[in-house]
Structure 1
Amino acid sequence: MIDRGVPWASAVVGLILVFAIRYRRGSKADRHPLPAIVSREFEIGWTAATIFLFLFVFWWAASAEIGAYSVPRDAIEIHVVAKQWMWKTQASNGAREINELHVPVNAPVKLILTSQDVIHSFYVPAFRLKRDALPDQLTETWFQATKTGTYGLLCTEYCGTDHARMLGRVIVMEPEDYARWLSAQPEGDDLAHQGERLFSERGCAGCHAPGSTVHAPDLAGIWGRPVPLEGGRIATADAAYIRDSILQPGRDVVAGYRPIMPSYAGLLSDGEIQALTAYLRGLGSAPAVARTPGLPDLRSNVPGSAPERSPAMVPGAPVQDRPAPAGPAVRP
């Protein structure tokens, strides 16, 4: 059976050949003079205007796209771990959910995604939101829901037998309802406190505490700062750097230190690495963040921010019971 496009393609190619031969340079074909309006100045002006329009549209679209990746400073932070075949979410205050995500309306929410096994893709069609969750890597995205309701959550990367059943929902609530829902969740330690315990239990404090006899970098206040590495390179102490330093400590060795730290690959889960990262971020200092009207103080959920430091936030200090920070924390 002949493809329907073949006759049309043949007709176009035939016309091109006929016109190329009939009106070739030097042929006796009748050529009427061009209209007076078609001049060199007109062609130059039209071409310049077209180029300017193209560049303007390109700049406008690129600016809007780049701006969409800039997470607002007051965004509520949610950690998402994908696993065959479920979505596990945890807010910075410790509230955990499986295949559900509660968020307040008209509030920006930052998602930090990773995967425990294969590549998954976090997709909320109603929000035009899609971001891959990769094993052994962190990816980020953000959104701000503008209408309350329940919206479907899908995985759009084939991830195994039950890929089509890896479903969830995003529940967008009024700020007051969200605050009540949040306060009704089982109490538990926030990510920073979990990381604080892990920092001691896993032996990190034995090397990185200020009074340690082992020559290792002091991690207090390191978050967000440049770190000089061997070979003259500079790295920024962000979530990706912390994760790589835990799993691949020999790759980026801090200048002036020997590569003696063991790898924790296979010894720490993704959730534990997230908790340690939250704790190390809390060791830094940042200006206070304005509260979202109608919501609890979300300062501890804002990337780069931290509550006021206490002795329990210093590496090697004993863990103390403290009240968990107030809330966690959605742009279509």
Structure 2
Amino acid sequence: MDVTFTTPRRPVEVTALFPRLAPLARPAIRLHPRPGSPSAHDSSVGGPLLWPADEPWPYCHEPHDQVSRLYEAYEVHVDPDFEWFPGPNPMVPVAQLYVRDIPLLRPPGQADLLQVLWCPFEHEPDLKPPTALFWRSSAEVTDVLAAPPGPFAVEYEEYVPRPCVLAPEQITEYPNPMELSGELREQLQDWSRWQAAGSGVDGSYAPYPESYYGSHLSLAPGWKVGGWAPWGLTDPVPRFCSACDAGMVPLLTICSGEWDGGTRNWIPYEDQAVARLGGDIESNPPGVQVSKGDHLQLYVCPESPEHPHTSLIQ
């Protein structure tokens, strides 16, 4: 993609006001998916995968009829014309990321490509789409699968991402306020400290300055690699590798929009004119809605990305 996207500079240098945040800085790469026609040789969201012709396509083998029974148990309304598919369902491409574009990725061995797929159904017990990760060496794929199977059934069309090209941009993130120590949170709640930053701080946040940090300075919205977790639906929950018990780290955040009313200060300069016009296409190019508007964050083991990954909705 020839267009670049630039996150506006943060209104204050937060580590100058709160030096204890400096060691907690983490790099993240905003993917900035935008409508396009990616090929299998491009990084993309919802685009075609560089999938070997001789490798079986992944299927979701979970019993989809159990999803129907779960909805009935909780008396969730389901369109009467919707037909539940009980058998294995081909998984749907969600993202393809080349290390050349996303250098934060730490692939195993000689791999230089990450492929993410999911089943376009929300499965029990936590009603989220099951995901599959594949690391591979692009140089070893000499014969690309020409016609991958599409899903036999889709619970919500928002679980089939519209093809998007990417314009990766590296930024710096800081933890969600809920992940900070009590002492540091007390400092964030001290408005006099913020006043020291001068006119850069929005005075309307004086009654709740910690919210200013959370909205303007800690985590960027949208699709991204790395960074911190967007807690909110739950308190922070440590994630541990099931293979080696190492603390897991965020790999990919799959979001339901690039911005909303509370995160408009993160809108890239290049999008600000169109953002003023509103509209779902501008704020959510892939058209994805995770669990009615939340985030799905994938975690991997820092010791070995080949260990089983896990996911969490926030």
Shorter-chain TM band = under 0.3
Higher relative contact order (CA 8 A, sep 6+): 2
Question: Normalising by the residue count of structure 1, what TM-score does the alignment of the two structures yield?
Answer: 0.23
Question: Normalising by the residue count of structure 2, what TM-score does the alignment of the two structures yield?
Answer: 0.24
